[in-house]
Structure 1
Amino acid sequence: MPKQLKLKSYALLASLVNLVLYQYPFFKFVLSNNNLKSTSGIMLLISLIVASIILNAFVFYIGLYLLRNVGKWLLAIFFNISAIAVYFINTYGIIIDRTMIGNVFNTNYEESSSFFSFGLVLYVLFLGLLPSFFLFKFKIIRPKLKSFLIHTGVTLLFLGVLVFANSTNWLWIDKNSKTLGGLVMPWSYVVNTSRYYSHINKKNKKQILLPDATIKDDEKSIAVLVIGESARSENFSLYGYDKNTNPLLSQIEGLKHFETESCATYTTAGLQCILEHKDTGKLYEILPNYLFRNDVEVIWKTTNWGEPKVIIDNFQNKEMLRKNCEGPDCEYDGILLKGLKDEILASKKNKILVVLHTSTSHGPTYFEKYPKQFEKFTPVCKSVELANCTQEELINAYNNTILYTDFIVANLIDDLKQLKEYKSTMIFISDHGESLGEKGLYMHGIPASLAPKEQLEIPFIVWTSDNSRNIKENQGHSQHNIFHSVLDFLAIDSPIYEQDMSIFKN
């Protein structure tokens, strides 16, 4: 027979379990960023502990009263999701904000399965399933409505007093609100999932058409946009890195590279910045859709995901590319170059945009992103729990992905050189950077306002065929340069074109 507990005791017990098992990252941040030698610092810590217990107990109390037994199942779900969230926070140093929720919902099976580990199983077992089991060992005695209302009112009054007692710490809480909000369980993912879907609903409106464009000449021109994944400029020898990760690109005459920062630290937002004409916050046509509608041949090949809605005839995802592919490159990003020259030559149009969306440097399984012959830097990290590897092993595995990127881009340029009847350009830019253990952070997804330079500083590399176009030397570069530069190179006349945003000289 299950033991009986009053609802307020049950809610308090659930809140204490929540504090002990899932709030370690939250209070670790508080302890690391607060002066505990001061009276206000000690007051803040004590108040946050008390507020965490009381506020969660208050919400659980109301939920369990209104939802009855369904409330227990919701708590069990919270416990298991919190266990998974804490695993990823502890292992990769992430913050569960709206952008991270977007990463979760835009992750496909292949990527998500790469995170599976024995450590994750232990977290789910001991921090998720086990405490969830004990939730059902107690029978809840619910209070009468009058008692429920009194308990609710007294708790609200107490929380109000606690908030005003900490008025001296409001500035500190406000300053660190993004991080604190992304670490507190379970509300980090509950609130930010709601925010994410609200944001998606706004974006899912019908795209706003841009003004019609015209093609100015009949000269055969190709612009190939290569969108890198998680490539940070710090590990490109073109940018001064001391290991030779760009042995091929460094030998190509006329290649230019620019210092650039991404506008976001996750793929969907990074791609949006690369493909939109400017940051408006509205759903305007993106580059491939705009050019396709205005009679440009557009080819999109991808081994990745997370792009805005691409409305063209020739969109080839990983499954389509692999269907008719033979050879070792079919499992890697080299597949993006298979048959590309033939597709270009088969086009009946003079203006062609090719977009190659790679996945080469996406973690945590960097060691699986390149063929064996590109494992030049050793030893390499072969664990998905990146903190278990030495930083040398982790960086070596990542450097090998950059080495393979160098190979792909250099071979693409060689292919374009062979298309003598076309003037051509290759533009490589990454969606965002990557953390490799610096400051205890891994991969990407930290809010851009808080993100370290490793997640923001990206490569922007440009090549043009002989005598096609000269490139501006001294210009601030961003992902928003891409739209206008492609229009400029392909000689597309548009009311929205901005010459100052093009990387090419007149």
Structure 2
Amino acid sequence: MRESILKRVAVSRNVLTMLVALWLMLTMNLPFWRSVWQGVGGMSNDSPLFLLSLPLFVWIWLYVLLSLLAWGRLTKPVLGGLVLVSAGASYFMNCYGIVIDYNMLTNMLQTDVAEATELLNGRLLLWLLLLGVLPALLISRMPTRPLTWRRELAGKLGSMAVLLGVFAVLVMSQYQPYASLIRNHREVRLMLVPSNVVGAVHGYLKRELAAPAVLEVVGADAHRISAVSTQHRPRVTLLVVGETARAANFSLNGYARPTNPELAKRDVINYPQASSCGTATAVSVPCMFQDLGRADYKDSMAGNREGMLDVLQRAGVDVLWRDNNSGCKGACDRVPNEDVSHLNLAQFCADGECHDEALLHNLQAYLDGLTRDTVVVLHMKGSHGPAYYKRYPAAFERFTPVCKEVQLDRCDTASIVNAYDNSLLYTDHVLAATIDLLRSNAARLDTAMLYMSDHGESLGEHGMYLHGVPYAMAPSEQTHVPMVLWFSDGMQRSSGISADCLRQQAGQPVSQDNLFHSVIGLMGVRTSVYQPQLDIFRGCMPATVAQQVERSELRVD
């Protein structure tokens, strides 16, 4: 009896694929349908046939995609796995307004355990259970009719051919509205689950496999100039790489709240028009340490091409990377580096992570031992979300109430902004403490601090949270970043760079493209890859100093 019932409900693997495609279209793609509906004008669209064709268009697309991925006995495992992955993707797209491409996938894969666990919650688990686990179990138990491989192949190819024909008819008959939708709303291709996930995986693997096996050397001719090599006081630059700070919420840039009260008292030079190389750490951090700039940077270069720190080290400048984040993404692979994120420091660390003041721990002892010019990079935890409230000590919770949910869509905008602004207030304190530390060493060292965030953050604008949106479609909140400079009197004298001149020019647009050339220029390093037009300090040297630098070609061992 049971066998006869199973025979009656049994379906072919091809039909099962069709049913899964229908499930994915109906349950996993609310953000996609919302974006499409807005893009075509909703009910105001004057082509009812076009509106009616959209679900069929998407269903055929998903069916063909699943058919190409799922074959033979692997059909059920592949379909079940895709349903699980799709459920996870749809959750984050619904809750945080993100889109998924290879950059977002790279960012996810490079997220450390602590950051990943912040995203775990009961709602996510329930979502995965209802939309992923249970349907995957149903797929695994669904009886299928046994067919010879020839009949199964013929059925699959025949179905694909017929539906692709229907697909072509839909596109040709409604070409103008489809072309307009894709051309004017390119983001929709990154919102259709699971084709966006498949595309992201393909893009990621393509770039990983295409990465050169041999490390590409940059600035092999790097050397010191005599104007710097003959000085007697070590020149020290602290390069502070921020995390997820957006310029819009820096009071130095005109934000109404006092999020930078301490920096405002430190005579810093603020750059209000600074932009990032990417919208995620995995892109921005390696890119900002390269000489090429955003236009020519490729993801494969992160671990296979030398950058700023390699060039500095080759020229005889000491280098140190101190990290309180999820790593340097390849930028510090060949130089001394320290991870302070797991130090056992009661005053700074708790529950498996450290606040950013840990980056300054024992830094004075390091400075005491310096005898040569040095660049120290401090990689902050900054304002990494969604748990902004964890990024600062309790004493800095001045804007209340704060959102203490990782599901940001459950909080009102004001409480999200409060928590985020508190994290910036703490960043302000850490930067001010860094300046004070450098200033206390003025009798022996010529010092400077340059702070720049890796990317910005969305706090609910346009329904978006967090970051990682593809650069071409990213809102300014994710690409407009803060940049702050402080120069000691000694650094101004030894470099000949006028802080007043820098302040006058600070209103001009700058970007992370300037970082490589500005830092190696400040440290007196010259190489064929150095581009003086991208050095923000170059134009603020007196003519006599600039001429001396140009004439100087002395190499230093």
TM range, smaller chain: over 0.9
Counterpart residue identity of residue 288, structure 1: L
1:449 paired with 2:465, answer no
Distance 2:384 2:135 in 1: 34
Task: Please state how far the C-alpha of 1:62 moved relative to its aligned partner.
Answer: 5.5
Which among 106, 123, 146 is matched to residue 127 of structure 2?
123
Counterpart residue identity of residue 58, structure 2: S
Distance 1:432 1:141, change over 3 A: same
Distance 2:66 2:531 in 1: 55
Counterpart residue identity of residue 97, structure 2: G
Counterpart residue identity of residue 511, structure 2: S
User: Aligned residue for 1:327?
Assistant: 347
User: Aligned residue for 1:347?
Assistant: 370
User: Aligned residue for 1:157?
Assistant: 165
User: Aligned residue for 1:17?
Assistant: 23
User: Aligned residue for 1:278?
Assistant: 292
User: Aligned residue for 1:368?
Assistant: 390
Counterpart contact for 1:7–1:61, Cα < 8 Å: no
Task: Please state how far the C-alpha of 1:147 moved relative to its aligned partner.
Answer: 4.2
Distance 1:458 1:60, change over 3 A: closer
Counterpart contact for 2:277–2:512, Cα < 8 Å: yes
Task: Please state how far the C-alpha of 1:241 moved relative to its aligned partner.
Answer: 0.8
1:46 paired with 2:55, answer no
1:215 paired with 2:224, answer yes
Distance 1:291 1:41, change over 3 A: farther
User: Aligned residue for 1:138?
Assistant: 142
User: Aligned residue for 1:253?
Assistant: 267
Task: Please state how far the C-alpha of 1:61 moved relative to its aligned partner.
Answer: 4.5
Distance 1:489 1:81 in 2: 48
1:403 paired with 2:425, answer yes
User: Aligned residue for 2:519?
Assistant: 486
User: Aligned residue for 1:466?
Assistant: 489
Alignment of 1:60-209 (within 5 A): 60-61=66-67, 63-64=69-70, 66-68=71-73, 70-141=74-145, 144=151, 145-176=153-184, 178-203=186-211, 205-209=213-217
Counterpart contact for 2:457–2:466, Cα < 8 Å: yes
1:314 paired with 2:336, answer yes
User: Aligned residue for 2:552?
Assistant: none
CA deviation digits over 1:261-282, x for unaligned, max 9? Answer: 1121111211123211122336
Task: Indicate the SS of the match to 2:489.
Answer: coil
Counterpart contact for 1:265–1:432, Cα < 8 Å: yes
Distance 1:290 1:63, change over 3 A: closer
Counterpart contact for 1:288–1:311, Cα < 8 Å: no
Task: Indicate the SS of the match to 2:383.
Answer: coil
Distance 1:454 1:227 in 2: 18
Distance 1:113 1:386 in 2: 15
Task: Please state how far the C-alpha of 1:196 moved relative to its aligned partner.
Answer: 1.2
Task: Please state how far the C-alpha of 1:485 moved relative to its aligned partner.
Answer: 1.4
Where do 5+ consecutive residues of structure 2 fail to align?
A: 542-557
Counterpart residue identity of residue 218, structure 2: L
Distance 2:68 2:458 in 1: 41
1:416 paired with 2:438, answer yes
Counterpart residue identity of residue 363, structure 2: L
Q: TM-score, normalised by structure 1?
A: 0.94
Distance 2:446 2:106 in 1: 39
Question: Which moved further from structure 2: 18-27 or 439-448?
Answer: 18-27
After the TM superposition, which segments of 4 or more aligned residues of structure 1 sit over 6 Å from their partners? none
Q: TM-score, normalised by structure 2?
A: 0.85
Counterpart residue identity of residue 161, structure 1: V
User: Aligned residue for 2:37?
Assistant: 31
Task: Please state how far the C-alpha of 1:304 moved relative to its aligned partner.
Answer: 1.1
User: Aligned residue for 2:238?
Assistant: 224
Distance 1:480 1:55, change over 3 A: closer
Distance 1:43 1:306 in 2: 52
Distance 2:472 2:47 in 1: 25
Counterpart residue identity of residue 7, structure 1: R
Task: Indicate the SS of the match to 1:139.
Answer: coil
Counterpart contact for 2:290–2:307, Cα < 8 Å: yes
User: Aligned residue for 2:555?
Assistant: none
Counterpart residue identity of residue 407, structure 2: E
Distance 2:185 2:214 in 1: 34
Distance 1:63 1:195, change over 3 A: closer
Task: Please state how far the C-alpha of 1:308 moved relative to its aligned partner.
Answer: 3.5
User: Aligned residue for 2:406?
Assistant: 384
Distance 1:118 1:411 in 2: 39
Counterpart contact for 1:34–1:41, Cα < 8 Å: no
Task: Please state how far the C-alpha of 1:119 moved relative to its aligned partner.
Answer: 1.0
Distance 1:57 1:495, change over 3 A: closer
Distance 2:365 2:122 in 1: 46
Counterpart residue identity of residue 101, structure 1: L
Q: Considering only aligned residues, what root-mean-square deviation do their CA atoms show, in Å?
A: 2.0
Distance 2:47 2:113 in 1: 44
Distance 1:136 1:202, change over 3 A: closer
Task: Please state how far the C-alpha of 1:63 moved relative to its aligned partner.
Answer: 4.9
Counterpart contact for 2:86–2:132, Cα < 8 Å: yes
User: Aligned residue for 2:252?
Assistant: 238
Distance 1:176 1:142 in 2: 46
Which among 7, 13, 19 is matched to residue 13 of structure 2?
7
Counterpart residue identity of residue 476, structure 1: P
Task: Please state how far the C-alpha of 1:130 moved relative to its aligned partner.
Answer: 1.4
Aligned residues: 501
User: Aligned residue for 1:292?
Assistant: 313
